Chain A
């Protein structure tokens, strides 16, 4: 026989417990949003279509804010980097060695020319091999009294490390032709920090050359490849006659797109120094993406495990498929994507 008195006592005890512990109700209500709804046969509130829509809007808003900040406050956002000449030379020569090409010697004149080119890009606000006023890479090289037979240029920006810069150049056929070009004996580098397009960034200029011997003719081949924002190298071949001498130049270029007029320049700053007070946009966007993706993945995992435990069957799409596709996103962003990718 059912004991109603006992049941009533139990209910009263439960009521008393909840009255005495209002915090427990709040906790229960909070956790409730993360768990599937057996009565409605639906997922957790935070996995409802409306919630997913809010996450999408949130990402769009953050993207818009990150696009607007550099226009309102240039230099607040930037690309942190740890690039130096010694490593650039090391990785360049390593690639040449791997491809059976002799190593390059570091040349001070080419480095000075690269430094002037980088400064010129920041001051005139452009990101290309040829300046808006028509100044070519060769003008910087000749300006340093470097007499060449062959010359070339690679550009890069927004990268984190020297290795990534060289790796990206190597992956691009036009840049690679400069990087492991047999015509070059010497190389010069410039690594310069500054504000370009509103973002604090590091420009890398690599200039190649083969010094002219008195008995030899000079030649130049030029190639321009629009690689977008992050790396530059070109090679359009052109032979020019100049007073009986024929010249062949080889230039590598990253992008032809002009950069916003607002730009400032500073001396190279080591990564992690107090002067690097900008927000690293690469790290920030990556973190936001991983946090939002990770949050949804966690909820999907809870949904799968809780539904299995409680035997809940829901009228929704395949949770496992959502989980799989989001895990792919997280793995790709975490392990594959690198800052300073070639556009």
Chain B
């Protein structure tokens, strides 16, 4: 095991210690803050999977995130509080939406793909705005967090933190396995040269569609966790700038690197938090930092630490 292989485990340990440390320093706020980072890390990692390995740049990923969040919130309104029902439903709905949207969008390429995913995400956004029964533009409050049983109570900030941590670790494990497996290799082959992959007999459309649906489902999981984290969902979670933020996270972290999405989510939210503490005008320095990344770290943060040529 090299030092590089150890890094994820060290990070996992550090993340596991956060609530204890926060309690020690009497800084309970940071439990929620790190939890939010981890939730967005799941969403960004799922986007990195299709963007970095499948070459599918989606500007509509927030739609699936939002669908997951709304499914949990709406289920709650109708009295379904069990996480074991609501969360899988959130993943299922998001994945099915991704399947439907992907099946049409994947007919297009490049910039047109970016735009058509954006169009569909906008449709979902306005649908959410139109859900007058469920808050419409104002959003929807959750009466309580999902009930998970097993002697765990998600009302506790720390318990929810660990549940999110387990979810993140599982998603990273799953995605890393997928990338290393035959499926991931085929996906990368399609990214490099789709015509050639098709010529040697791979049903490229189907491979891409499955990847798109998996990523959508995982974003839905992140959304379900976010609804629990926030106890509130609103159309803002589905706005196109949210999709753009996810893309920015992936690019900032390092597109196509195993931990690119995770690194980007953590870095961007940390930057926001830091800059917002310093000044009201925090977009300005954030923009300048992102510009610096474009020119001085073209492969993102992960690219700075990677060996030359590795991806």
Mutual binders A and B? no
